[in-house]
């Protein structure tokens, strides 16, 4: 337990440091003294205060919540499906959210004063996908293969519909939709932060409640029944809660890949397979990773006088390089076992 406490304390410090760096650095050029004064006076009215508390702080908090939610959901999906390649986007939720957001953007809702329409449509699309996958997999006993197959088929179908919409859309609408699809924390409306926070924290409480069941599910359905865990019932609750968290994260920030795939893998080797420790470790690790990735997405383009790019580009490059290194090093069995 001392080792677990030390790991969680270290990850919490990493997340706090990432948040501080995200608030301190950015595209605006502010003097160090002005930054200190703004941080110590949340009610100030200076330019530095507006940049720190109005622009950077909500974005950093959203990055922490979305990163933590995606990583914790990925940990749940990998545990309940016994599939190391499962992530928050495996089961079709991202496809539904993407279609909902694309429809909203192409209908012109993203340019209106109520920019919360895009997250609303995205979350509605995620809920529809959730219902479809749930209904299809329930007919086959809610087994891991049924969930994965249903999610893959639905993702492929919805992606094809999105490409069909692009064929009839204007170039400006396609550009706006693509920015969202690549994951963009900067365009998230203010209402996304409390909504994503409430959904993520509520879902994480459900994850921790079922952490023992996740441990038993990793041994297989037969052993799980012998240990007192009904596999289908546990998967239903875990699937619903993890999908809702994923839907809230995707609706708030777009599709940000690899956070829910890589972070649980890495931390499983550090914190062990016990989900009572692995779940909070994934939450903290994912929060730190996405906050740092967003800082890079804001800082690197600014240093070369180039517009900032979506954070999903950073996480995609980092995740792809990570997997390539494992593949060419011949040590993939350490992470995919």
CATH for 239: 1.10.3470.10
Residue 144's pLDDT is 83
Indicate the burial class of 322 (C-beta count within 10 angstroms; 0-12, 13-18, 19 or more): middle
Cβ neighbours of residue 87 under 8 Å, at least 6 residues apart? 74, 77, 78, 257, 258, 260, 261
- Summarised one tens digit per residue, pLDDT across range 253-268 is 889 988 998 899 889 9
Residue 56's pLDDT is 86
Residue 298's pLDDT is 84
- Summarised one tens digit per residue, pLDDT across range 189-225 is 777 788 889 999 999 999 999 999 999 988 888 888 8
pLDDT band at 77, cuts 50/70/90?
very high
In the predicted structure, residue 312 carries a pLDDT above the cut 60: yes
Cα–Cα distance list, 156 to 90, 97, 211 (Å):
11, 13, 31
In the predicted structure, residue 114 carries a pLDDT above the cut 70: no
Please report which residue ranges of 25-143 form alpha helices under DSSP H.
Answer: 32-40, 47-49, 57-81, 93-106, 117-138
Indicate the burial class of 152 (C-beta count within 10 angstroms; 0-12, 13-18, 19 or more): middle
Counting the structural domains of the chain, the total is 1
Phi, psi values for residue 112, rounded to 5°: -80, 170
Q: Model's pTM, two decimal places? A: 0.90
The C-alpha atoms of residue 15 and residue 115 are separated, in whole angstroms, by: 29
The C-alpha atoms of residue 65 and residue 45 are separated, in whole angstroms, by: 27
The C-alpha atoms of residue 236 and residue 242 are separated, in whole angstroms, by: 10
Least confident interval from 60-74, 172-186, 302-316: 302-316
Instruction: Look at residue 232 and give its three-state secondary structure.
Output: helix
C-alpha triplet 260, 68, 182: angle, nearest 5°: 55
Residue 337's pLDDT is 47
Which structural domain, as residue segments, surrounds residue 111? 2-334
In the predicted structure, residue 78 carries a pLDDT above the cut 60: yes
Q: Within 10 A of 9 (CB to CB), how many other CB atoms are there?
A: 11
The C-alpha atoms of residue 104 and residue 270 are separated, in whole angstroms, by: 42
């Amino acid at each position: 337990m001392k080792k677990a406490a030390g790991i969680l304390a270290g990850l919490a410090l990493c997340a706090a440091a990432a948040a501080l760096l995200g608030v301190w650095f950015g595209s605006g050029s502010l003097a160090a003294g002005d930054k200190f004064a703004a941080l110590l006076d949340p009610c100030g009215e200076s330019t530095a205060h507006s940049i720190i508390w109005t622009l950077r702080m909500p974005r950093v908090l959203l990055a922490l919540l979305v990163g933590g939610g995606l990583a914790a959901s990925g940990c749940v999906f990998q545990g309940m499906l016994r599939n190391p390649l499962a992530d928050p986007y495996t089961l079709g939720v991202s496809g539904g959210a993407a279609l909902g957001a694309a429809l909203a953007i192409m209908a012109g809702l993203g340019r209106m004063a109520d920019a919360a329409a895009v997250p609303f449509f995205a979350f509605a699309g995620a809920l529809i996908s959730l219902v479809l996958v749930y209904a299809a997999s329930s007919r086959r006993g809610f087994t891991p293969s049924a969930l994965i197959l249903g999610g893959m088929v639905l993702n492929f179908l919805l992606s094809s519909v999105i490409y069909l919409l692009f064929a009839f859309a204007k170039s400006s609408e396609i550009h706006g939709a693509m920015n969202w699809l690549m994951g963009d924390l900067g365009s998230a409306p203010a209402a996304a932060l409390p909504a994503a926070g409430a959904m993520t924290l509520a879902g994480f409480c459900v994850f921790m409640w079922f952490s023992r069941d996740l441990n038993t599910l990793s041994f297989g359905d037969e052993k799980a029944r012998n240990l007192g865990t009904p596999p289908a019932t546990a998967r239903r609750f875990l699937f619903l809660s993890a999908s809702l968290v994923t839907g809230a994260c995707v609706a708030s920030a777009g599709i940000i890949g690899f956070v829910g795939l890589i972070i649980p893998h890495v931390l499983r080797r550090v914190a062990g397979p016990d989900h009572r420790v692995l779940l909070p470790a994934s939450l903290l690790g994912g929060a730190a990773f996405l906050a740092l990735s967003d800082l890079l997405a804001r800082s690197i383009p600014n240093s070369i006088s180039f517009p900032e790019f979506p954070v999903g580009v950073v996480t995609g490059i980092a995740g792809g390089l990570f997997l390539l290194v494992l593949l060419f090093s011949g040590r993939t069995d350490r992470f995919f076992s």
